[in-house]
Structure 1
Amino acid sequence: MSRRDALRYATAASALAVLSAATGARTPTASAAAPTLIDYAMRQIPAQDIRAAGHSGVINYVSTSRPGSSFGAKPITLPYAKSLVAAGLVIVSNYQYGKPGGTAPSDFTRGYAGGVADARTGWALHTAAGGGQSAPIFFSVDDDIDRETWNRLALPWFRGINSVIGVQRTGIYAGIRPCQWATADGVIGRSRTPGKVWAWQTRSWSNGQIYPGAVLYQRIIDTASNPGPVVGGIRVDVNDVLAQDCGQWNLHP
């Protein structure tokens, strides 16, 4: 194990203790080295199946399905959120409606006005499901973009989001470079964990590097060629927790 990985897992182990203490959950034996949250869209996975698989919680959508699709886990609902909390699981909010090559364009391409609309939708769905009033929503840049695209499209989109919910409640899901740009441009908030910001970094487009400021790292990405683990009958993505405060609802009432 590299020194970077050793430090990452040490941080994650500390985070798991806080996650468990905050929810009353026991340390999941399957994730003793690193607390993990799963993300998925196909359908709602029963809380007991998530616990049985050894995960500490979920990252769930506060967005609706794209035209022509019907994802059972989009958006998270109040009854489902209550079932997760009752099982001692934590919840983090994510917004993604469009997708590259999908039936709706990538959200970040819609600029400032799109950011305003997306923030309003995301916050309404987040609060309807019982999301914490000071908890962040991670807005997705699910594409490999360059700095020019960031400056021209994504940055105005984030500023539109900021105008509705504020910087402190805004987070980003992206590869390493947009996470860094979002931090430098001041459009995402800060975790209570020192040195950490609301950056949920995906392994994709990150060249094997992990942004030191990230609170979450999407280590396993479910694809047809590399299927993710099965939890509750469906394949999921797996995310390492890199901070004691990763934006979970129960720490942000």
Structure 2
Amino acid sequence: MRQVVLDTETTGMDPKEGHRLIEIGCVELISRKFTGNNYHVYINPEREIDIEATQVHGFTWEDLKDKPLFIEVADAFVSYIEGSELLIHNAPFDLGFLDAELGWINQQLGQQRYGKIADYCKVFDTLAYARRRHPGQRNSLDALCKRYEVDNSGRTLHGALLDSEILADVYLTMTGGQTTLLLGGESDELSGDHQGLLASTRRVDSQRPALKVLQATAEEQTEHYAKLERIKKKSGGSCMWLDMENPSGESNDVAPHSG
């Protein structure tokens, strides 16, 4: 499965007010592993950048006047994401800008050259997913980094590629995967922007003793399922753990256990 973690930076908050993209950063995952085949581009927005936006990402129009226009990179970008599943934190924001940029190209050319992003790939909103997992809690990227112990110490200013790399780590951890862990015998031949990840990698000793596995007692299982039921009630009738084990949606009056 090919997934592309995507983030953008912009001149302001709303493309309907004429705001434009200034940066796109993408990180490729195949079968939940970093490939190093990333996509990153700065874009000339052809307009000034709101001071509030500059305070977030640090760029002014003067910094970007020598960069390509979006129309010059659109083909390469669409080819890169096509057929993938896009992972985006607060997807409506980024998709709004990307769809607007593609729409403006259609207007300039006087023809329907591009469709919307959803015509080229699936979209998974990590913010919506995090809100379902952690109802009533803060689910910004920084908050998720703290919750899942993902290092975001390099994030003094927002940057599309850096934020995509961080979001990839958060997504893999949040959905039950490992990110910077290499087991003995695995290749650590990585290329491009992913080389920096190796510096923080901890290699597990393949000769270490086997980990001791403790089975939950019947009492612990009962307490566990009682808590899941409370989560389900507080989140409006949805609990992913219960849904996976009990697709019919019926309440777990008695915790399942073996033996």
Same fold (TM over 0.5): no
Structure with larger Rg: 2
Alignment TM class, shorter chain as reference? under 0.3
Q: Which has the higher helix share?
A: 2
What is the TM-score of this pair, normalised by structure 1?
0.25
